[in-house]
Amino acid sequence: MINAKQILSKLVLNEVYKYVDKDPMKNLNKMINWAEKVMTKTSYASMISMFREIAEDPNSNWYKLIERYFTELNKNTQKRFLTNFIVNAGLVGNTIIDKSKAKYDCNVPWAILMDPTTACNLKCTGCWAAEYANSVSLSYEQLASVIEQGKKLGIYMYLFSGGEPLVRKKDLLRLAEENNDCMFLAFTNATLIDEEFAAEVERLGNFAFAISVEGFEEETDMRRGKGTYQAVMNAMDILHRHGIIFGFSTCYHSKNTDVVGSDEWLDLMIEKGCTFGWYFTYMPIGKDAVTDLLARPEQREYMYRQLHKFRGTNPHNGTKPIFLLDFWNDGEYVGGCIAGGRVYLHINANGDVEPCAFIHYSNANIKEQSLLEALQSPLFQEYKKGQPFNENMLRPCPLLDNPEKLRGMVNTSGAHSTQYQDNESAEEVTAKTEEISKEWKETADRIWETNPNNPSQKETVSKSAD
């Protein structure tokens, strides 16, 4: 059912599209004025103000990123991103999600990550997906059902992982076409991207890609196999030519942090056409996990400092025209852990509904229960009750940073292991992160003590101003 906000949003978008088709950067302020007509919540005021600052500074890295959006992406993708991501998944979807949370007394996520299959054409060292059986998949009907249920709750953002999700590329294209009001993104090794596939994605406009790459050729091929890096570079060239949204998805660990956090490497990713970059840190999932790959506290701090330098601490002092995220180190911007349906959840290829792609425990299966029932399941309710798991937002994760919290939630909820190969207990998996969590605590507490997003720091600044 279309509500008043959706009608107003459509009217505003029609006006914004006129500027997109003309001279978007020259008309950036006019587009912001139109956006303000829809973004009427008080909480959006600071965002609007920030975009006005950006629009007035052509030398800003954020201005240059917006410019890249209008010059490098095809028109269809530009418009679908505005409609499906900004309006449907953002303004309209979040309003419905808030109502769903209140009505059902549970977390309702902004995004759902699903594994269409566990099959993969690569075998990467330390990949959590390798802990699942390699012949399991969700049917097209099951994937479509999750999306149908999700939209009723206000969810318009859907992500795919695996395995390699593009093993099912025809089904994924069909899902995107039949749900052209949603935005889709696939985490992919990119080796199956070709011209024919890219042409279809360009036509649809509502599909983006996060391409797995571990650094330059040596670092990438070390984990992913010889020849993978060159295949990734070729795929990026194809997507860039077709004006499709894509970025890099990079796991930083003890062997590659100095590379993937460097100016040189990030400049290459921007040159190749990446408009965003998503950093993850290595997680020791599975009994045979290589714990030596865990990033040391000084390496995690290095990534924290580098991303703040690249993005900037205000709209004017960043250094790179790319949107960067760190799944762990950016807890300060999202209120801690985003898993357990608070912002996202994970459905593996067997249908198990898990709090996170890295937390392989569940009480619910989408083949037997509804999405809503999964969100109301004991483990998800434990997440809701426990979040945030730490007052220090640089220690958000219940596995990597607060292992005792994960043990408590799994045992209290009676959740079972969803790993096919080894069925690790919560005690076994958290034993591998116990020591590193204590080491990171010392570093994280030192950083957090003077962090401007620390409530106690804000209080100190406020008293000083008085």
Is residue 4 predicted with pLDDT exceeding 80? no
In this prediction, residue 45 carries a pLDDT of 87
Is residue 353 predicted with pLDDT exceeding 70? yes
* Mean of pLDDT over the chain: 91
* Mean pLDDT of all residues in 75-94: 92
In this prediction, residue 325 carries a pLDDT of 97
Determine what percent of the chain is predicted with pLDDT higher than 90: 76
- Convert the chain into a string of H (helix), E (strand) and C (coil): CCCHHHHHHHHHHHHHHHHHHCCCCCCHHHHHHHHHHHCCCHHHHHHHHHHHHHHCCCCCHHHHHHHHHHHHCCHHHHHHHHHHHHHHHHHHHHHHHHHHHHHHCCCCCCEEEECCECCCCCCCCCCHHHHCCCCCECCHHHHHHHHHHHHHHCCCEEEECCCCHHHHHHHHHHHHHHCCCCEEEEEECCCCCCHHHHHHHHHHCCEEEEEECCCCHHHHHHHHCCCHHHHHHHHHHHHHHCCCCEEEEEEECCCCHHHHCCHHHHHHHHHHCCCEEEEEECCCCCCCCCHHHCCCHHHHHHHHHHHHHHHCCCCCCCCCCCEEEECCCCHHHHCCCCCCCCCEEEECCCCEEECECCECEECCECCCCCHHHHHCCHHHHHHHHHCCCCCCCCCCCCCCCCHHHHHHHHHHHCCEECCCCCCCCHHHHHHCCHHHHHHHHHHHHHHHHCCCCCHHHHHHHHHHHC
* Mean pLDDT of all residues in 247-266: 96
* Mean pLDDT of all residues in 148-174: 96
In this prediction, residue 466 carries a pLDDT of 47
55-64, 192-201, 294-303, 417-426, range with the lowest pLDDT: 417-426
Is residue 200 predicted with pLDDT exceeding 80? yes
48-52, 103-107, 288-292, range with the lowest pLDDT: 288-292
Is residue 1 predicted with pLDDT exceeding 50? no
* Mean pLDDT of all residues in 26-37: 86
Pairwise pLDDT comparison (124 vs 236), residue with the higher score:
236
* Mean pLDDT of all residues in 403-409: 98
* Mean pLDDT of all residues in 328-344: 97
Is residue 445 predicted with pLDDT exceeding 70? yes
Q: How confident is the model at residue 202 (pLDDT cuts 50, 70, 90)?
A: very high
